[in-house]
Amino acid sequence: MTKHSWDGDMNRTMIDLHRELGTLVRTGPREVSVSDLTAIKQIYGAGSKFRKSDWYSVWQGHRKFDLFGERDEKIHGEQRRLVSRAYAMDSLKDLEEYVDHAVTIFLDNMSERQGQVIDMGNWVQLFAFDVIGEVTFSKRFGFMDSGGDDGSFGQIEGALKSASWVGQIPSFYWIHDALSPYIGNHLALSARHGSLRQFAIKEIAARQDRGGNQKDILSKLRATQKEKPLEMDENAVASMATSNIFAGSDTTAISTRAIIYYLLKNPQCKNKLIEEIDECRAQGKLSDPVKLSEAEKMPYLQAVMYEALRLHPAVGMSLPREVPTGGATIAGQYLPAGSAVGANPWVIHRNKEVYGDDVEAFRPERWMIENNGDMHRFFFAFGSGARMCLGRNISWMEMSKLIPTLFMHYNLELSEPEKEWTTKCWWFVMQKGVNVKLTRRRS
């Protein structure tokens, strides 16, 4: 599996292996991938004794405050309670104006490029970075202004590529970590612990100097720090801000690319979405930019988003958990304590019992039927259980606003519709090849 992690095809490899071998696939000497639906609740459900495996230790490194990498469930629960208020649904109303600002700048850039073929995949990445800067620090990175990044994209990609395969052999990371003062850093893992963290620290210090009454995530973290300074110290604030940049930008960009790509690959779906947008607009039900509360009342838009993230969830590798003391029986097979077991979102989202026989088809309508509870229950794009992605509400808001606002104003077509995009799975499944011809729609 280490080779597949390096090659960047783990997502498709696991789909093929489960189709060939069934619900349990042995992926290493002490690791198993599972696709059995009853096992999902057992492994990831509330109160589960399955903690994160040592794969995550590579991500945490030496950081004491790390919601993603922390393996101790008690510590994770304490940390999550400290910061959850900043990411709750109630906080979205404070953050929406920041997203509006980024959407407006994105559309200004599209206006300057109408009639051209543009790399829409790159532009949504620029947007995602700028918007996470807005909601976290009330300050954009300025990538949309310059039309490019400052090297951050490459740093994150390098860190993802290294961690995806080094995580298969965590001991290698710790040996390298001990030797790095003498041999240098050859694993490209410093983006999360180094340059992006330094950027976050700089912005936090700048906020302290200038003050202000912002309603962004940093202000909410600062409020918690003021209430509980011992639990929420400077390192904790910096860690959360860094995680926002690292995880919040790429996942949203990947998901937004998927929505746009599948709509353009399926023109009948694109046209149906445009009909919904135009109808809502004619009835005075849409603002510009579209409000989250308005987007939530657009059933086809929501179905499109769920379907795109079902076919292309951002994470393409297993979410491994350690079997607790005493072992466990998973899908009829006993697994000893200390072994690892996990489910891959790409595999779960192609379960025909849940999503129908046409699991490889982009069909948003499947989400619009009654009694679709199982589809939502096993929707794994943001993880599951107590470890579900903390920023999922913010990401969903960004996409819910950008997509209808973009298609309200512009017609998008793939410049080479016969070509397929290319993807690489290094934890996140990143795409290339969303080149789009952009023309303004008539009002």
Q: Which residues are annotated as a binding site for heme?
A: 389
The residues, ordered by sequence, that sit 6+ positions from 214 with a Cβ below 8 Å of its Cβ are 138, 207
Give, as one character, the DSSP assignment of residue 416: S
Phi, psi (deg, nearest 5) at residue 223:
-65, -40
Q: Are 361 and 391 spatial neighbours (Cβ–Cβ below 8 Å)?
A: no
Q: What is the dihedral of CA 236, 242, 246, 249, to 10 degrees?
A: 110
Instruction: Tell me which residue has tokens 């920041």.
Output: 98
Three-class HEC string of 356-413: CCCCCCCCHHHHHCCCCHHHHHCCCCCCCHHHCCCCHHHHHHHHHHHHHHHHHHEEEE
| Per-residue tokens: 378 | 């096993």
Collapsing DSSP to helix, strand or coil, 75 comes out as helix
What DSSP string describes 256-304?
HHHHHHHHHHSHHHHHHHHHHHHHHHHTT---SSPPHHHHTT-HHHHHH
Question: Which one-letter amino acid corresponds to residue 105?
Answer: I
What residue numbers does the annotated binding site cover? Answer: 389
Q: Are 64 and 235 spatial neighbours (Cβ–Cβ below 8 Å)?
A: yes
Instruction: Tell me which residue has tokens 């619009």.
Output: 368
Q: Are 409 and 107 spatial neighbours (Cβ–Cβ below 8 Å)?
A: yes
Collapsing DSSP to helix, strand or coil, 319 comes out as coil
